[in-house]
Amino acid sequence: MRKMVVLTAAALVVVAGALVGSAASQASSAPRFKITGTVVAGVQSAQRGGSQELTFAFTAKNTSSAAQQADFNYSVTNGTAANYICPLVSNHFDIAPDSPACELGSLAPYQTAQSALIVITGNSAGPMTVKMCIQNTTFCKTLTVTLQ
């Protein structure tokens, strides 16, 4: 009886280890991105009225071990998107601008891609925000500039 208990316990440990390994393998291929962004030239405030252009630059990195769909999707509050730069720096990707997105397609494991959005300031005195997301709204970065 004692040998049977020890063997059963050992079999359970092996099965549990296999399940943990399987879960880790599935988790590592799940979409994961790190997104950073900046207002080019570090602008903190701008003149309102539709006359000033600001450039917002974003970098997305696939942090998973599998290729992932990675389209850049933008939204702008209190401003007008004037131009998409897809990509900001060539990373050998065929990125097509398609308002309001830059269609990146598949981003290889641990690969980065950059994009930028040129925005014309709005008329309201409130802040202007630019939000860039990958995978719809799962992974996002929001940048804000005060309009005076």
Distance, CA of 135 to chain centre: 7
Same domain, 48 and 111: yes
| CATH number of the domain encompassing residue 38 | 2.60.40.10
Contact 86, 72 (CB under 8 A): yes
Same domain, 6 and 51: no
Same domain, 26 and 48: no
- Position 72 scores a pLDDT of 81
- Position 88 scores a pLDDT of 52
Contact 94, 62 (CB under 8 A): no
Q: Mean pLDDT in each 10-residue stretch from start to end of the chain (148 residues)?
A: 48 43 51 87 76 87 87 86 68 52 79 86 85 82 90
- Position 141 scores a pLDDT of 93
Same domain, 10 and 69: no
In sequence order, the 6+-apart residues with CB closer than 8 A to the CB of 112 are 59, 60, 61, 62, 91
Same domain, 18 and 69: no
Give the global pTM. 0.70
